[in-house]
Amino acid sequence: MSNDRYHTVGKSILRRGAKERLTGNPIFCADMEPENALYLKAVRSRHPHAGILGIDVSSAMSVPGVVQVFTAKDIPGKNLMGIINKDQPLLAEDKVRSLADPVALVAARTPGAADLAAAAVSVDYDPLPAVFDPEEAMAQDAPQIHAKGNVMVQKKVCRGDVTAAFDKAHTIIEKTYRTSAIEHTYLEPDAGIGFPDEDGTLVIYASTQNPHYDHKEVVSLLGVEDHAVRIIQAATGGGFGSKLDMNVQGFIGLALYHLKQPVRYVYTREEAFLATAKRHPFVIHMKTGADETGRITAMQMKAVCNTGAYGSYGIAVASRAAVHATGPYAIDNVNLECTAVYTNHPFCGAMRGFGTPQMALAHESQMDLHARALNMDPLEIRVLNGVKKGTVTATGQVLTDSVGFQDCLTAVQPEYEKAMKGWLSEPTPAYIRRGVGIGGMWYGIGNTGVQNPSTARVAMDREGQVTLFTGCADIGQGSTTVLSQIAGEALGLDAMDIHVVVADTKYTTNAGATSASRQTYISGNAVKQAADKLADVLLTEAVNYLKIRKSDLRLENGRVFDSRHPEKQVAFSRLAPRILDKGGELSWQGYFDPETVPLHPDTGEGIPYSTYAFACHAACVEVDVLTGETSVCRVIAAHDVGKAIHPENVIGQICGGVAMGVGFALMEEFVPGETISMNDYHIPTAADMPCVIPIIVEASEPSGPFGAKGVGEPALIPTAPAIINAVTHALGKRIYALPASLERVLDASIASGHFNNCYQES
């Protein structure tokens, strides 16, 4: 009876929503225009740091077409938001802490009227000294941004005796690394619409990564009951972490609460650049020691990250940075510290990798520096130090299963050796230098040492039709397809035959944030658990119907059949009414929360993640030593994903991660006050993309759904370190600050003598 169509895990089936996107059919929030909708516009601060003495909206209210201008006093609930700690007001009340801070909200009948009224709002400010550098913000006499002080959080991981290990080290490398603030630069701007439903419910469609978080925040801001607000995720054109924070949702909720009529808010690109979260800029001081064989014996790391005016995901970023500072390497003696600091910079939050991409630049550069000092091959030193089963991490966690880092190194090795032995020696113009670099990575799946559960529901109706209900927001990563595959595999159904209801707080329960590469592993387990419960009920009823032992029964194609005698079978559509008529249950909830142990506040000891993803990238670059231009020619990318539920989806994530890594390495840098829009911000184009050779490594995770882990963020993390190591290989001079822009590469070329030699030859 077995039909391979009904075994969907491990297959690259058609992605849900693919046809709609190819034909331009999905409705994004910016495309939604409810009839008679009012247009919203926030009034932003004119100072990076100032007290608010008063706000006069009278001139704004006199603009034709203006319906209302709201200030903090119009917020009926708690005027505080924040994913982890509540420190950000929806509308500033007593002071502003960055140029992004909103002080008022205009509702008008036309976009033009909204713009004119926003410009007409008069705010009496008392300017205060501002501080933008996190290290300066830590000084005792620095301007105080929040009453509790400028240091938001400090996270530590300590193990062994670092001092003694350094005393015995054969080589010691101590360097400082810097990374820049990064804009997410998704194509779809932040947008949302809202309207009151027939029963008075405030319905908000939003471009979001976490509708249930949005719901909780809007309910708190408005001071209403949970049922009074409904959040629905619209088709979302990218997020990368920025759409975890509240952007337009609170403004829409506030206007709906007071006006009870449809409203819409679409950020301009300039507003998105100003007012949304950025990747945290880091300053990383790292010192590592190795013995004469190349084994890393000690690491000391102090990092400071700029969280900007508000916390957002800063605590999570600092935690993950400290835990991941060692990279995927076994180091017995560590003293690691990451401090997140408030400044008057626009707020920084989650962005693909949560501090791990910044830390990877440091630990992968250190590995190459040790390899050079010891005359070792960069791949060889990583094989020597790489984690494996039985490794004890810096937090004291023993890695027991699905530790595929060594497999990733092995997978990359043939292409790496081919590049080192053949590609490097191919003739090039005199002004071109070639280099090959390696970058390793590990990434804990889910949130760090805290509960981060997911729930899901799988239900069958009397006709045998199955519906999956999940709060998981699909922002392009394909989670809706993958979760359908997991449910289909458990129930013996084609994934496309399962109806799905996704990310609607009226019908779905909380699946947690689409972040931390957690949805396939965590929500996938919740879905599988729910589907398994439904499958068991169907099998139990089939025992009564077919008079066959449960152990001999299988589910496939909407039927239960005898595996020994396939002609003996019964359809789900016949079993479902029998179960319901007996008072049985066909709707089942699944719940999964990874097993973790909170980290000790002083030592960082604990189990921060239940499982880890691993990867290794090798990059081949060409550097023009006369112009500083770096071309990434090829990236070999091996990723341990546990099990690839949808292999083409995994490949897509790897290629997308490489693209983002190229930007992080070579060109992206957000400078407050200077970077206004995409006109001022350089991201990779198709012409900048290398040939990507993706390699899927499957070190099955026992606790994952059908062995799966995740790949969303890991796909990015090793790329920039591999590129920087390759540029160093090409020039013989290392760059310690990202991005490795034309100017920085040219400086390195001049310092290494390549520029002068080629200039004189030409």
Confidence of residue 16 (pLDDT cuts 50, 70, 90): very high
Q: Which two tokens stand for residue 618?
A: 């090798």
Whether residue 168 contacts residue 203, with contact meaning beta carbons closer than 8 Å, is answered with no
Between CA 385 and CA 374 the distance in angstroms is 14
- For residues 318-325, average pLDDT: 98
Task: Report the C-alpha gap between 140 and 643 in whole angstroms.
Answer: 51
Which CATH code for domain 32-128+190-266?
Answer: 3.90.1170.50
Per-residue pLDDT for 271 more than 70? Answer: yes
CA distance 149 to 140: 10
631 CB neighbour count, 10 Å cutoff = 15
Q: Which CATH class is domain 4-25+453-592?
A: alpha beta
Residues 6+ apart with CB under 8 A from 481: 13, 15, 16, 495, 646, 649
Task: Sheet with 282-290: list strands edge to edge.
Answer: 151-159, 333-342, 296-308, 282-290, 171-178
The beta strand positions in 109-200, using DSSP E, are 122-127, 151-159, 171-178, 191-196
Residue 3 reports pLDDT greater than 90: no
pLDDT average, residue stretch 467-493: 97
The pair of structure tokens assigned to 332 is: 């017995």
CA atoms within 13 A on the CB side of 394: 30
Give 4's pLDDT tier (boundaries 50, 70, 90): low
Residue 259 neighbours by CB distance under 10 Å: 16
- Tens of pLDDT, residues 409-425: 999 999 999 999 999 99
| Helix, strand, coil content of the chain in percent (nearest 5) | 35, 25, 40
Sign of CA dihedral 674, 676, 678, 679: negative
Residue 643 pLDDT > 60: yes
Q: How far apart are CA 269 and CA 276, in angstroms?
A: 10
In this model, does residue 762 exceed pLDDT 60? no
User: Tokens 């030409």 appear where?
Assistant: 762
Q: Between the CA of residue 564 and those of 492, 550, 553, 558, what are the distances in Å?
A: 17, 12, 9, 18
Report pLDDT digits (tens) over 602-631: 999 999 999 999 999 999 999 999 999 999
Q: Are 534 and 586 in contact (CB under 8 A)?
A: yes
Q: Specify the pLDDT at position 390.
A: 98
pTM of the entire structure?
Answer: 0.97
pLDDT at 7: 86
What is the identity of the amino acid at 410? T
pLDDT at 754: 87
Cβ-based neighbours of 440, under 8 Å, separated by 6 or more: 327, 328, 329, 360, 364, 367, 382, 386, 405, 408, 409, 614, 615, 616, 718, 721
Largest CA distance in the chain: 91
Average pLDDT over residues 591-596: 97
pLDDT score at 5: 63
3 contacts: CB under 8 Å, gap ≥ 6: 556, 557
Q: What is the pLDDT of residue 172?
A: 98
For residue 391, the one-letter residue type is T
Give the pLDDT score at 21: 85
Whether the Cβ atoms of residue 610 and residue 446 lie closer than 8 Å to each other: yes
pLDDT digits over 21-62, tens only?
A: 889 888 899 999 999 999 999 999 999 999 999 999 999 999
Confidence of residue 237 (pLDDT cuts 50, 70, 90): confident
Q: Is the pLDDT of residue 459 over 90?
A: yes
The predicted-structure confidence for 334-355, as pLDDT tens digits, reads as follows 999 999 999 999 999 999 999 9
**Section 313-340 average pLDDT:** 98
Confidence of residue 450 (pLDDT cuts 50, 70, 90): very high
Q: Cα–Cα distance between 665 and 238 in angstroms, integer?
A: 21
What rounded mean pLDDT belongs to the chain?
96
**Beta strand extents in 490-626 (DSSP E only):** 499-502, 553-556, 559-562, 569-571, 587-592, 612-624
Enumerate the CATH 3.30.365.10 domain ranges in the chain, comma separated.
4-25+453-592, 282-447+601-761
The stretch 310-331 carries a mean pLDDT of 98
Amino acid at 17: G
Does residue 620 contact residue 727 with C-beta atoms inside 8 Å? no
Helices 356-373, 719-731: crossing angle, 10 deg rounding: 30
Tens-digit pLDDT profile for residues 347-379: 999 999 999 999 999 999 999 999 999 999 999
283 neighbors 337 (Cβ within 8 angstroms): no
What are the residue ranges of CATH 3.90.1170.50 in the chain?
32-128+190-266
pLDDT above 90 covers a percentage of the chain that reads 95
Would the CA dihedral through 62, 68, 74, 75 be positive or negative? negative
Query: So what's the pLDDT on residue 756?
Result: 80
Bond preceding residue 739 cis, omega within 30 of 0: yes
DSSP assignment letter at 170: S
Give every CB contact of residue 1 below 8 A, 6+ residues apart in sequence.
554, 556, 561, 563, 566, 569
Q: State whether CATH 3.30.365.10 applies to domain 282-447+601-761.
A: yes
What ranges in 460-502 are assigned the alpha helix state H?
479-491
3-class DSSP state of 457:
strand
Q: Which residues contact 438 (CB under 8 A, 6 or more apart)?
A: 364, 368, 378, 379, 382, 412, 416, 616, 617, 618, 722, 725
- SS3 category, 469: strand
Q: What's the CA gap between 675 and 42, in Å, rounded?
A: 20
- pLDDT over 70, % of the chain: 99
Q: Which residues of 354-387 are buried (b: 16+ CB within 10 A; e: fewer)?
A: bbbbbbbbbbbbbbbbbbbebebebbebbebbbb
- Taking 80 as the threshold, does the pLDDT of residue 310 lie above it? yes
pLDDT of amino acid 577: 98
To the nearest 10 degrees (0 to 180), the angle between helices 524-546 and 479-491 is 20
Q: What is the pLDDT of residues 503-528, one digit of tens each?
A: 999 999 999 999 999 999 999 999 99
Mean pLDDT of 566-573: 95
pLDDT at res. 489: 97
Query: Which has the closest alpha carbon to 739: 669, 673, 674?
Result: 669
